[in-house]
Structure 1
Amino acid sequence: MNKPIGVIDSGVGGLTVARELMRQLPNESLIYLGDTVRCPYGPRPREEVTKFTFEMVDFLLQKEIKLLVIACNTATAFTLELLRENLTIPVIGVIEPGARAAISVTESKEIGVIGTIGTIESKAYPEALHHISKDLVIYDLACPQFVPLVERDQFSDEAAFDVVENGLLPLLGHQQLDTLILGCTHYPLLHEPIQKVMGNHVEIISSGEETAREVSAILSYQEMLNESETAEKHRFYTTGSKVVFEQIANRWLDQPIEHIEEIVIDQSLDDK
């Protein structure tokens, strides 16, 4: 089926998922929408996140996507089941894949989860983890300083280490913790300072790889893989600065982006 995969995020963080989708599914085309102008979603009320998420989904549905990836943990926590109830296409979130990946590597069965305020308060990760294994010890921690750092394109600055170190301080006393879930798709862009602060004995889990694997399995099972020899070009949309988005995307993705467009969602819905 030569239709694109839709990917939504509150900003640039979902590029960490898009990168894995592009790597694992090279014959597929992506349409990515990052709501950078209203980022971060983490501190926002559930109702507002739900409204914004459905607006992004409406935009992508007009592009005739065949599958939707919610590459935002907060949006996944608040809207996954609602979207699955309302859409006729498969909808994949990033929380369950991340939980499965963490359980597969932990030896001490003590797992840390860091995320936005919304994701952590939703308790979506502890629920997903305990649904699979009841005897896990979970330490969850909100790190609201991290997303603005990434959105400002400061994730490789020297100052990023100090922000990360201060943010992770409450986890450092848990000596048996051996696995840390990056419960926000922005956080893999801070992987280096996070690993340095936590130590090499802690396995850092990003949900991107596992999410892409799940997308691949679903497309294959439902016979929706692109069978043509060439895929359409990937298309990227942002509600914020095209320049900043392009800078981050070109540094993070393994291939140059040819189509980036700056949009206003409401106008786009009216025009299209």
Structure 2
Amino acid sequence: MGIFDSGVGGLTVAAAIRRSMPDEQLLYLGDVARQPYGTKSPRTVTRYAVQAAEFLVEKGIKALVVACNTASAVALDAIEQRFPGLPVLGVVEAGADGAARASPQGRIVVAATEGTCRSEAYERAIARRRGGAQVRCVPCPLFVALAEEGLTDGPIVESVARHYLGSLFDGSQGGDCLVLGCTHFPLLAPALARLAGPGVTLVDCAEATSAMLVRLLAGREAPRGNGGGLRLISTDAPERFARMAGRLFPSLGPTPVVELADL
């Protein structure tokens, strides 16, 4: 199974898939050389995403997870058209499905990248599942940098989170559901949960994607006891990539092997 993201954030999706489908062989590609996708034009993101998909398809994957919200928002159709027989799942659809189910009153806040918010993909995907929902997508670009630097909690994270989202959870008409609309953002979940408050449901797109993938591949799972593995590929900076992978997959050791590839 192939998974790609613009960097290390999608490793949260890979980790969730590993927990729910432990026997699957996972091939993860991080396009670190060209990140971030969130500030680039839809045309550029689509070109990068199709190239990443082509790279993974050449490796013989049976399904593809687009573990980048920006690429999922703007490039999913292009990937599906390029590979019509391949099951393709994007994290936006999964996150929208989770939000539509989890929000008590339909007041949904999506924390995402600039590109994801600009696409309005979450608004459309949630509207298809829950008409009348109020959706506010908020660009939070510094969250990506914080996660990449390993700053996942503490006063700096809390200050940045308040800057972006603090006013959206005040009062009785504030948001009742917060979607972590970038695969980096689950790494900041404890700080974001405290900011939103105990009455707000957090939707982790990584967990939502894993649950939807299980449904999508029902009957096509790897045989039990297959001992699924994880192969890591990066387009740049493999040492830094390995450190993050080691945090999310401790069984691989502190610095797992990361292959270097060009797209």
Q: Give the TM-score normalised by the residue count of structure 2.
A: 0.92
Q: Which consecutive segments of 4 or more residues in structure 1 shift more than 4 A?
A: none
Is 1:216 matched up with 2:195? no
- Work out whether residues 55 and 265 of structure 1, in 8 Å CA contact, stay in contact via their aligned partners in 2: no
User: What is the CA-CA distance between 1:143 and the residue it aligns to?
Assistant: 0.7
Q: Which amino acid aligns with 2:47?
A: K
Is 1:160 matched up with 2:157? yes
Is 1:41 matched up with 2:42? no
Q: Name the counterpart of 2:89.
A: 92
**Structure 2 unaligned blocks of 5 or more:** none
Q: Which amino acid aligns with 1:127?
A: R
Over 3 Å counting, the alpha-carbon distance change for 1:139 and 1:208 in structure 2 is same
Over 3 Å counting, the alpha-carbon distance change for 1:189 and 1:39 in structure 2 is same
Matched-pair identity in %: 33
Equivalent position to 2:194, from 187, 193, 196: 196
Worse overlay, 113-122 or 36-45: 36-45
Using the alignment, how far apart are the partners of 2:172 and 2:10 within structure 1? 31
After the TM superposition, which residues 1-272 of structure 1 pair with which residues of structure 2 at under 5 Å, given as runs?
5-87=1-83, 88-156=85-153, 158-173=155-170, 175-176=172-173, 177-220=175-218, 223-227=219-223, 229-253=225-249, 255-256=251-252, 260-266=257-263
Using the alignment, how far apart are the partners of 1:154 and 1:6 within structure 2? 28
Worse overlay, 35-44 or 112-121: 35-44
- Work out whether residues 235 and 259 of structure 1, in 8 Å CA contact, stay in contact via their aligned partners in 2: no
Over 3 Å counting, the alpha-carbon distance change for 1:174 and 1:236 in structure 2 is farther
Partner SS, residue 145 of structure 1: helix
User: What is the CA-CA distance between 1:239 and the residue it aligns to?
Assistant: 1.9
Describe the superposition over 1:93-118 as per-residue Cα deviations: whole angstroms up to 9, x where unpaired.
01111111112221122111110000
User: What is the CA-CA distance between 1:228 and the residue it aligns to?
Assistant: 6.1
Q: Which amino acid aligns with 1:109?
A: G
Describe the superposition over 1:98-140 as per-residue Cα deviations: whole angstroms up to 9, x where unpaired.
1111122211221111100000010000101111111111122
- Work out whether residues 46 and 74 of structure 2, in 8 Å CA contact, stay in contact via their aligned partners in 1: yes
Using the alignment, how far apart are the partners of 1:122 and 1:130 within structure 2? 14
User: What is the CA-CA distance between 1:158 and the residue it aligns to?
Assistant: 4.0
Using the alignment, how far apart are the partners of 2:155 and 2:239 within structure 1? 22
Partner SS, residue 255 of structure 1: helix
Q: Which amino acid aligns with 1:226?
A: A
Over 3 Å counting, the alpha-carbon distance change for 1:8 and 1:123 in structure 2 is same
Alignment length (residue pairs): 260
**Structure 1 unaligned blocks of 5 or more:** 267-272
Using the alignment, how far apart are the partners of 2:161 and 2:33 within structure 1? 23
Using the alignment, how far apart are the partners of 1:29 and 1:264 within structure 2? 19
